[in-house]
Structure 1
Amino acid sequence: MQDIKIKSAGFGDPAVQSLVAENLRDLSERYGGSGDDTPITAADFAPPNGDFLVAVEDDRLIASAGWRRHGDDAELKRMFTTNAARGRGLARRMLAAVEASATAAGCKRMILETGDRQPEAIALYESAGYVRIPDFGHYAGHPGVLSYAKPL
């Protein structure tokens, strides 16, 4: 995995949007519909109020994780690893990188929403120290939504 580079990328970049579309297809397969209707814009991930990170291997984007300000917190969005890159510890590296980015921007806590049909994500977040919190954001009150937080 030493050949994998994690770097900031513009959310509007066509290669990033292609990876995001793959993420949304994965969510759609799990949950139906469009996968995630959360309103997101490229400006959400613009420093100093956010950042969008990608993992690059052989000039291909294979993972992503972004954060945007949500009050005093950083909200994790679009955490995703392609099927071909799974099982190599990359999601944990991406999570650590996005947490470091939010910490550097002065955020004190990372919050996130996930769903009950993403057991891999739930296991990752809980093993990384995230704990359940009351639901917030776009999917607050929806069945199957799980919200988590971790101090940074």
Structure 2
Amino acid sequence: MEQKKTIPSLYEWVGGQAALEKLTEVFYAKVLQDELLYPVFKDMSADHSRHVAHFIAEVFGGPKLYTAEDKGSHASMVSHHVGRMLDEPKRKRWIALLLEAADEIGIASDPEFRSALVGYLEWGSRIAVINSNAETNPVEEGAPMPKWGWGEPGGPYEG
């Protein structure tokens, strides 16, 4: 009898919580040294990078640390972007620095994982720009957390 191949989640493939926390720690250190992004992030809390690592972990199929431990939600993550007035140069720099941090710490570099990672970063950062220019949070409390895997998100963005 042939056994089915088990496909790991992106969370498992990236190396779990420790890898994501290292990634966000190195990334936000870069952000605070960047003249374009520093003004946006200069007042972030000391545990901001850990909260973001928890969010990404949950989205990538890991434990629900963001919703359980941090008491966060998809709506609360979006609320942090509302009114920030992000733009395309900031979005592009954010992605470039995150991918640079991933390379520096040796995050999985196989094409399939990097395609999924870049896809998520493009998707999420473009939504962050849209939401940052909104006057109110477009995501209602109780909306499901995003889930990201090895494939495509499933259709056009509808806001």
Q: TM-score, normalised by structure 2?
A: 0.33
User: Could you say which structure has the higher strand fraction?
Assistant: 1
Q: Which has the larger Rg? A: 2
Say which structure, 1 or 2, has more relative contact order (CA 8 Å, 6+ apart): 2
Q: TM-score, normalised by structure 1?
A: 0.34
User: Could you say which structure has the higher helix fraction?
Assistant: 2
